[in-house]
Amino acid sequence: MITGDFEKFFKSLQAQNQPFTFEVFGEFAASILNFYVGSGLILLADKLEGAELLVKSFNAGLGNVITSADQKEIAVSVAQDPTLNYQLIQSIFG
């Protein structure tokens, strides 16, 4: 589910000719994970694991340039972020 929604979001940005920046990724990742937790799709205890998967997918798209230690730090930051931007994630539900 997480990887599929990540791919949908990435494709929607491409279709709109919008860049997939680190900032956009962070807001998307935090928002989708908080939506999943709030909707009961994943447990709060699984949020960090979901963040790690999203960071790994983002890194793969960058050609695996983010170190493993930095990926872990980014994942922790994403998992702790309370952002929930429905407008940003709505494209994956269409």
Tens digit of pLDDT for each residue in 76-89?
999 999 999 999 99
- The ranges assigned to domains in the chain are 2-13+20-93
Does residue 17 surpass a pLDDT of 80? yes
Measured CA to CA, the distance from residue 36 to residue 23 in angstroms comes to: 20
What's this model's pTM, rounded to 2 decimal places? 0.94
Give the pLDDT confidence of 40-91 residue by residue, as tens digits. Answer: 999 999 999 999 999 999 999 999 999 999 999 999 999 999 999 999 999 8
Measured CA to CA, the distance from residue 63 to residue 27 in angstroms comes to: 21
Measured CA to CA, the distance from residue 35 to residue 14 in angstroms comes to: 23
| Ordered DSSP codes for 24-35 | HHHHHHHHHHHH
Q: Which residue has the higher pLDDT, 29 or 91?
A: 29
All residues at 6 or more sequence positions from 34 whose CB lies less than 8 Å from its CB, including other chains: 81, 82, 83, 84
